[in-house]
Structure 1
Amino acid sequence: MTFGEQPAYLRVAGDLRKKIADGLLPPHTRLPSQARIREEYGVSDTVALEARKVLMAEGLVEGRSGSGTYVRERPVPRRVARSGYRPAGGATPFRQEQADGDARGTWESRSEQAEASGAVAERLGIKPGDRVMCTRYVFREAGEAVMLSTSWEPLDLTGRTPVMLPEEGPLGGMGVVERMAAIDVVVDNVTEEVGARPGLAEELLALGGVPGHVVLVVQRTFYASGRAVETADVVVPADRYRVAYHLPVR
């Protein structure tokens, strides 16, 4: 909904956006040149340029060096399932999803000890600088990076136990609930906050995005009797994924 008259560059961008959505400008088609936009819509070069900038910022078109601006392939958003029901076998949601015979997902991880930043310390209820196990994940489908995750666990809880390294040992690769249960810590609550922000340069590089693209961030924290035992940031491209929740009603 808009109020009053739209600026000219938004009217031009809106019409071009509709043509893209309707298939009149299909993927890989070259966007009309700045001169063509100026002539077709009766606007100035500045307006034509600003309209193109809007479409680029929205991720609908991309510039190709020495060639022009082209309509981007628009992926069909997939669901990232967040469920209140525990999957059989204790696998993490991504691993459970990849158990489907049609899935082609893989992942890689790297764990290392680190000092908790102020933000991580606040989420875990520990002091800044306290030691944590930081594990970074890259999840791939058909070789393409589709999701990033970074988790932190306080080492005063898991240090020198069989679950100190999330992806190694007898419970490597199991979910947080199952791993904590192995050291007699009963996880009874989890919170998730979902937000959106421009992707960091290193995130977009890993995920194949372009500067300015938006990512969804799921900030998840597991608790045992009120104590945070793990916190994580899950990052997915906003144009490729939707976060879907399935929660039990009690």
Structure 2
Amino acid sequence: MPDQPPYLRIADALRKRIADQEWTPGNRLPSRAELATAYGVGDNVIRRAQELLISLGALEGRAGSGTYVAEPRQRLRIVRSLYREQTGSSPFQSDMAALGKRGSWESRTDAKVPAPADIAARLGIAEGDLCVRTAYEFLADGKPAQLSTSWEPYALTSGTLVVLPEGGPHAGAGVVRRMAEIGVTVTRAVEQPSPRAVTAEEAALLGVQKGTLATHIQRTYYAEDGRPVETADIVVPANLCEVVYEVPVNP
């Protein structure tokens, strides 16, 4: 068996000192130089070990101050279910309410954005066709919990009161109810989850370390005639949230 990489060995050692309560939540760790000397490794090895523990939620970095033992943070339970969206309230807000937290979101919509090739393929339109793109940041008690970028064909909602997902009389109503307002019945959603690391931009928005593991969910809603009406990329950081799928069973 090959030897364990040095940064993993150091990460295990640091994690043990935390578990043994040598360092407790809120304590500042010794400097990287001090740790490097203590363990007989280079500063880069200490940096990688700390970055790993930050991505796992055991440590947190504070700009200009150092690295600290993180306060324990409850992982949020995110339930994925089309039926929950049909209840009339936001599924995210319902999930947060069940945890005694306030769920909210911030959004930015750009209309008439040309569809890139992958989005066009998912929506069944031509590359470059115009879309309405909305970027969401979902918050639990004001703290970032997950991200989502939604795309809808502009031709589908152009000239209607639901063209802006977060504007007008149906703002925030969700895809299913908004589409119903223009006579489009959404009958199914297809979701494809896969693991990946967050990007630098996503890490900054979520307040996590670059490279933190996340569940990436590629979701597409379909109308009863089979047309895709919306597709989204949802990013759920693994150290902040757990994703649970609710699957109905017909008796």
Distance across 2 between alignment mates of 1:164 and 1:118 = 22
Q: Percent identity?
A: 45
Instruction: Give the C-alpha shift of residue 194 in structure 1.
Output: 1.7
Distance across 1 between alignment mates of 2:173 and 2:96 = 14
Q: Is the CA contact 2:11–2:52 (under 8 Å) kept in the aligned structure 1?
A: no
1:44 is the counterpart of 2:40? yes
1:178 is the counterpart of 2:190? no
Question: Which of residues 68, 71, 93 in structure 1 aligns to 2:69?
Answer: 71
Q: Which range is displaced more, 121-130 or 58-67?
A: 58-67
Distance across 2 between alignment mates of 1:215 and 1:15 = 25
SS in 1 for 2:183: coil
SS in 1 for 2:217: strand
The residue number in structure 2 matching 1:26 is: 24
Q: Is the CA contact 2:10–2:49 (under 8 Å) kept in the aligned structure 1?
A: no
**Correspondence list, 1:147-166, <5 A:** 147-166=146-165
Q: Is the CA contact 1:216–1:236 (under 8 Å) kept in the aligned structure 2?
A: yes
The residue number in structure 2 matching 1:192 is: 191
Distance 1:31 1:188, change over 3 A: same
Q: Is the CA contact 2:198–2:211 (under 8 Å) kept in the aligned structure 1?
A: yes
Q: Which range is displaced more, 67-76 or 187-196?
A: 67-76
Once the two structures are superposed, residues 122-181 of structure 1 have per-residue CA deviations (whole angstroms, 9 ceiling, x without a partner) of 111111110111112222233222222211111121111222122233432222122222
Distance across 2 between alignment mates of 1:108 and 1:52 = 33
Q: Which runs of 5 or more residues in structure 2 are unaligned?
A: none
1:242 is the counterpart of 2:237? no
Q: Is the CA contact 1:109–1:136 (under 8 Å) kept in the aligned structure 2?
A: yes
**Correspondence list, 1:38-117, <5 A:** 38-39=37-38, 44-46=40-42, 50-59=45-54, 60-64=58-62, 68-87=66-85, 89-97=87-95, 102-113=100-111, 114-117=113-116
Amino acid at match of 2:70: R
Instruction: Give the C-alpha shift of residue 37 in structure 1.
Output: 6.3
TM-score of the aligned structures, taking structure 1 as reference length: 0.82
1:131 is the counterpart of 2:136? no
Tell me the number of residue pairs that the alignment of Structure 1 and Structure 2 aligns.
244
Amino acid at match of 1:44: G
Distance across 1 between alignment mates of 2:4 and 2:37 = 17
Distance across 1 between alignment mates of 2:34 and 2:109 = 53
Distance across 2 between alignment mates of 1:108 and 1:98 = 15
Instruction: Give the C-alpha shift of residue 231 in structure 1.
Output: 0.5
Distance across 1 between alignment mates of 2:63 and 2:188 = 50
Once the two structures are superposed, residues 157-209 of structure 1 have per-residue CA deviations (whole angstroms, 9 ceiling, x without a partner) of 11112221222334322221222222222212211122232322222222212
Instruction: Give the C-alpha shift of residue 244 in structure 1.
Output: 0.9
RMSD between aligned residues: 2.8
Once the two structures are superposed, residues 97-134 of structure 1 have per-residue CA deviations (whole angstroms, 9 ceiling, x without a partner) of 45669432322223221111112111111111101111
Give the structure with higher Rg (CA): 1
Distance 1:232 1:22, change over 3 A: farther
Distance across 1 between alignment mates of 2:34 and 2:106 = 47
Q: Is the CA contact 2:93–2:102 (under 8 Å) kept in the aligned structure 1?
A: no
